[in-house]
Amino acid sequence: MHGTEDTEAYGSERWSRFVSRRSFLKGIGGTAAAVSGGALLAACNSSDGGAGGTDVTLSVSTGGPYGPMPSQKDQKAAPGVYAYAQALQEWFDKHPGVKFKTVNVDVWNQEAITAALSGGTAPAAFISNVIGGWDYAAIRSAFLQGLAADVTDLVAESKMIDKLEDYAKPIWENVWSVEGRYYAAPNAYNVGPGIHYRRDLIQELGLPEPQPGWTWSDVRELAKP
């Protein structure tokens, strides 16, 4: 009856300019709603060929975790899309030299994203779990093979780990710290698939709470009117 603990992380494309990554990280940190309170976008290309240039183009995918500015039609159709557009526009206003370029990469397909990373056509940020097929050993191996940027200094500078809840910190460290280095930033933490229920209502009715070892018959009995 207990779901598996699951974490996701944002990886960053390895062909990036450090100063641009640093600047973008500082600006984007507050726009992502996750257990960390922030997220990492990296892999910038400076249009003037210098690390200190103000004109930067970031590649993004419609598949996320960050995408291009939604159309007015899409914003009106969904409150979540509108909220993303508002946050993104606020960031653009503070960083007028940054532009987004949409790339056609299926960021949820392991073969597609790894091919794009190897060919230098991947978006600036992606869900790291995909490059290892959600297998943590494979993800860590992909990191060590150079499929994501080493962002250890950026994670420390932004104090991302400090923004994690206490119960999530050891899970993050056990999974995402690779030989003392980081190749991704926190995205989300959850208990994974399982049964979710209102403990207060069960206690109010004096019913037994689900326990390890329960069967589906036990659950059906509890759920009866």
Mean pLDDT on 158-182: 87
Same-domain status, 59 and 142? yes
Same-domain status, 148 and 63? yes
- Total domains in the fold of the chain: 2
- Report how far residue 156's alpha carbon sits from residue 30's, in angstroms, rounded to the nearest whole number: 16
Say which CATH number the domain at 107 has.
3.40.190
Same-domain status, 199 and 185? no
- Note the pLDDT of residue 43: 34
Mean pLDDT on 150-174: 87
In a domain, 39, yes or no: yes
Same-domain status, 208 and 172? no
- Note the pLDDT of residue 84: 92
Same-domain status, 27 and 137? yes
In a domain, 201, yes or no: yes
Same-domain status, 134 and 214? no
What pLDDT digit, counting tens, does each position of 179-200 carry? 999 999 887 776 666 777 888 9
In a domain, 1, yes or no: no
Same-domain status, 63 and 156? yes
Same-domain status, 179 and 218? no
The residue that leads in pLDDT, 37 or 135, is 135
In a domain, 209, yes or no: yes
Instruction: Tell me how far CA of residue 173 lies from CA of 2, 37, 51, 56, 113, in angstroms.
Output: 22, 17, 31, 32, 25
In a domain, 59, yes or no: yes
- Note the pLDDT of residue 157: 92
In a domain, 2, yes or no: no
| 140 touches 179 (CB < 8 A) | no
What pLDDT digit, counting tens, does each position of 15-52 carry? 333 323 333 333 333 222 222 222 333 333 333 333 44
What pLDDT digit, counting tens, does each position of 85-103 carry? 999 999 999 988 999 999 9
Same-domain status, 139 and 207? no
pLDDT at 153 over 90: yes
Domain enclosing residue 205, as ranges: 195-225
- Report how far residue 51's alpha carbon sits from residue 70's, in angstroms, rounded to the nearest whole number: 29
Mean pLDDT on 160-167: 85
- Note the pLDDT of residue 17: 31
Please indicate, yes or no, whether the overall pTM of this predicted structure exceeds 0.75: no
Same-domain status, 38 and 25? yes
